[in-house]
Amino acid sequence: MVDISIIVPVYNASKYLNKCLESLIKQTKQELEFIIINDGSTDESEKIIKSYKDERIKYFKRSNKGIGKTRNFGISKASGKYIMFLDSDDYLELDACEALYKKVERENLDIVICDFYRVNKDKNIETITSFKNASLKNNPNLLLDINLAPWNKIYRTELIKNNNIKFIEDLKYEDAPFVTLALLKARKIGKIDKALINYVIHENSETTKRDEKIFDIIKIVDIMRNDLKKENFNQEITDTLTIKILVNYNIQQRKIHDKELRNRFIDTSFLYLKKNIPNYRRNSYFKKRNMLKSFIEKNKVMSKLYCNLYRRR
């Protein structure tokens, strides 16, 4: 019997793949399946995957289709009662599956979230604000507190498949709408106050790349807002989430070398805010920021100036 299906998309991950796969095979919980999808890798990834003889590995090889389509393919192949996602450059603590499974089963939850380690030169814990078991219906603020990455969570498979929840395909940042919709549809969400996932940051991480694909975040935010509207979700929280995401990406433009590109993104972002949330400057998000950060983040000219000055350092 398979309790948890762990879906791992792989694309040219040979440098990190052994550590990822070892963390799966050595889990203290045994009733697992590992759905490993080679998304058109051209390095040694396939050789590494095939070197593992564990019968719980289900290996699929496809031409490159992108992470959204690859994760959706993985969902279609999952036979476990629950689903987890793991990126091929990340790895689990060895008791991760056991801890998450015990929590989700014991308390009859649809989703369980855990803290995680951010691994760069150092290994630092990232904590999600603790909360009692709840749904977004009775605690809408959870949508602002829970990170929108798919990998520090376990999901009831029925929740995902019965509600036809899928990753957005052919856009970057495809995971945020998936997690948002899963949280919206979940009957009960819980949390473990323990870091069980290691999220690895390196130079070639998708999260560190800044190019024309950055504009996809505008489309992603729009998809999320429409999904929330269909569910009659709290509008104030929806607007706050929108602002939180976009001002964060505005400030991240400091990492872009191309001045024209970063300024164009900031212009587009503020235009979206002005059109969809005319009074965005008065939103509660800014009241929780310190005065300087709030001043920079709510002002287009200051956001550009900050990013431009950062690049000159």
Both 135 and 15 in a single domain? yes
| Confidence class for position 313, pLDDT limits 50, 70, 90 | low
Both 137 and 236 in a single domain? no
For residue 52, give the CATH number of its domain: 3.90.550.10
| Confidence class for position 203, pLDDT limits 50, 70, 90 | low
Both 156 and 253 in a single domain? no
Both 263 and 185 in a single domain? no
Does residue 206 have a pLDDT over 50?
A: no
- Which of 157, 182, 207 lies at the terminal end of a domain, its last residue? 207
* Structural domain total, the chain: 2
Q: What is the pLDDT of residue 210?
A: 56
Provide DSSP, 244-257. Answer: HHHHHHHHHGGG-S
Average pLDDT over residues 15-32: 98
Both 52 and 145 in a single domain? yes
Burial of 307 (0-12, 13-18, 19+ CB in 10 A): buried
Ordered alpha helix ranges (H), 146-299: 157-162, 175-185, 216-230, 235-252, 259-276, 284-287, 291-297
Q: What is the DSSP letter of 26?
A: T
Distance (Å, whole) CA 98 – CA 102: 6
pLDDT in tens, 79-130: 999 999 999 999 999 999 999 999 999 999 999 999 999 999 889 999 999 9
What does the buried/exposed string (b/e) look like for 269-286 if buried means 16 or more CB atoms within 10 Å of the residue's CB?
bbebbeebbeebeebebb
Among candidates 261, 284, 282, 159, which has minimal Cα distance to 214? 261
Q: What is the pLDDT of residue 212?
A: 85
Both 236 and 145 in a single domain? no
- Which of 181, 207, 233 lies at the terminal end of a domain, its last residue? 207
Q: To the nearest whole number, what is the mean pLDDT of the chain?
A: 95
Does residue 1 have a pLDDT over 80?
A: yes
Q: Are 99 and 196 in contact (CB under 8 A)?
A: yes
**For the chain, what percentages of helix, strand and coil (3-state, to nearest 5) are there?**
45, 20, 35
Domain enclosing residue 102, as ranges: 4-207
Q: What is the DSSP letter of 298?
A: T
Among candidates 267, 176, 187, which has minimal Cα distance to 225? 176
Does residue 62 have a pLDDT over 60?
A: yes
Both 65 and 201 in a single domain? yes
- Which of 166, 189, 207 lies at the terminal end of a domain, its last residue? 207
What are the C-alpha distances in Å from 307 to residues 19, 193, 215? 36, 35, 17
Average pLDDT over residues 257-274: 95
Both 236 and 177 in a single domain? no
Q: Are 87 and 8 in contact (CB under 8 A)?
A: yes
Average pLDDT over residues 147-156: 98
Both 151 and 293 in a single domain? no
Phi and psi torsions of 156, nearest 5°: -65, 125
Both 258 and 196 in a single domain? no
pLDDT in tens, 134-149: 999 999 999 999 999 9
Both 203 and 214 in a single domain? no
Both 216 and 276 in a single domain? yes
Q: What is the pLDDT of residue 211?
A: 76
Ordered alpha helix ranges (H), 1-95: 14-25, 45-50, 67-77
Collapse the DSSP code of 37 into the 3-class scheme (helix H, G, I; strand E, B; otherwise coil) and give the result.
strand
Q: What is the pLDDT of residue 129?
A: 96
Average pLDDT over residues 203-223: 77
